[in-house]
Chain A
Amino acid sequence: MTTAEDYKSNGIGKDLAIYVCLLVLAGLQFVIAYQNIDASQMFRRMLAVAFIQAGLAALFFMHLWAEKRGLLLFVAIFTISVLLGMQFGWTDSSRMVGGAPFSSTNK
């Protein structure tokens, strides 16, 4: 567990600063929602902000930054590899919707 010394050295001020950052980033997502841009661009911008928010929450609220580097790497690599793996399903599905399934290319 995180030691008492860690908690003493990292004050409430840091928690508050991260909280304010998260609120500002959440507000930014609402601003993006009202921008006059196309849906795909809006999606990309919102997702980028969400990943920054998630990173801040995981590193500082969940204290991943204070844990052993091995755990940080394990969580990051495992999560990212599965999320990337899902993209194969996504692109395959899009191909099928777009009318170009695998069967048409395997002649």
Chain B
Amino acid sequence: MSQADFTMEGHSTGLTAGPAFSIPTKKLAMWLFIIADTMTFAACLVAYGFLRNGSPSWPRPFHGITNVALMTFVLLTSSLTMLFGLRSARAGDKARAFRWTMITAALGIVFALLHIREWLELIGQGMTLFKNPWGTGLFGASFFSITGLHLTHVTCGVIALIAVGVRYKGGRYNADDIEVLGLYWHFVDLVWMFVVPLVYLLNLAH
């Protein structure tokens, strides 16, 4: 055996030794996506914090917490139903797993509708991307950017929940796929825990 063959063999063994961190590739890919997406949201929130800190006339347009509290409750509950779906899938109960996945998707739709209703209210009060009646125009840009990015994630998650749920029911996907999707859904929930205090609660009109 030549030195080149020996080296190639050693290299090949290293590459096929198993996935990193001993977790399946799909799950690792989702974790890497989550880490990358964390950076995106963190950059947006840090930039928002800088703008808020540097603007003397930052608006405080939110007069109540009912809507945002309801949205938080719906999203947190959807994380729980996602866990129930995964648990059912692991137990091999396909019908129940599908039902919980669809309930999670339905809660995601409710969250999106509440979000859109809130947007329409703010737009009705004269708030756009570049101006609003209360103060610096940067507020609209940062608010719609951050909540819009989050809403896009929720919408994509709902589509994925329905697609994966249907394919899981049809036997094309398995419990591992539900788990990988669950990671994404919990991440969307996790991001909301930072969006609520920074974007909503710090801008409450007292």
Contact = CB atoms under 8 A, between A and B. Distances in A.
B83 interface: yes
Interface size class on chain B is: 35 or more
A75 B201 contact: no
Contacts of B110: none
A21 to B, nearest CB: 10
A4 to B, nearest CB: 6
B74 to A, nearest CB: 12
Nearest to A11: B87
A65 to B, nearest CB: 13
B35 A75 contact: yes
Nearest to A26: B72
Interface residues of A, number: 46
Interface in A31-88: 32-34, 39, 42-43, 46-47, 49-50, 53-54, 57-58, 61-63, 67-68, 70-71, 74-75, 78-79, 82-83, 86
A7 B201 contact: no
Given A15-B80, A61-B79, A62-B186, A94 B197 contact: no
B23 A67 contact: yes
B190 interface: yes
B193 A26 contact: yes
B79 A94 contact: no
Contacts of B197: 29, 32-33, 43, 46-47, 49-50
B119 interface: no
B65 A30 contact: yes
Contacts of A4: 90-91
B84 interface: yes
Contacts, number: 123
Of A1, A4, A19, A82, most B-chain CB atoms within 10 Å:
A1
A99 B38 CA distance: 31
B194 interface: yes
B126 interface: no
Given A42-B202, A78-B35, A57 B21 contact: no
Given A50-B194, A90-B46, A97 B54 contact: yes
B49 interface: yes
A100 to B, nearest CB: 14
Interface in B167-206: 175-176, 179, 182-183, 186-187, 189-190, 193-194, 196-198, 201-202, 204, 206
A-B complex: 6 closest residue pairs judged by Cβ atoms? A46-B197, A33-B201, A71-B21, A53-B193, A61-B186, A97-B54
12 contacts: A15-B83, A23-B73, A26-B72, A26-B196, A39-B202, A42-B202, A43-B198, A53-B193, A54-B193, A58-B186, A58-B190, A79-B35
Interface of A: 1-2, 4, 7, 12, 15-16, 19, 22-23, 26, 29-30, 32-34, 39, 42-43, 46-47, 49-50, 53-54, 57-58, 61-63, 67-68, 70-71, 74-75, 78-79, 82-83, 86, 89-90, 93-94, 97
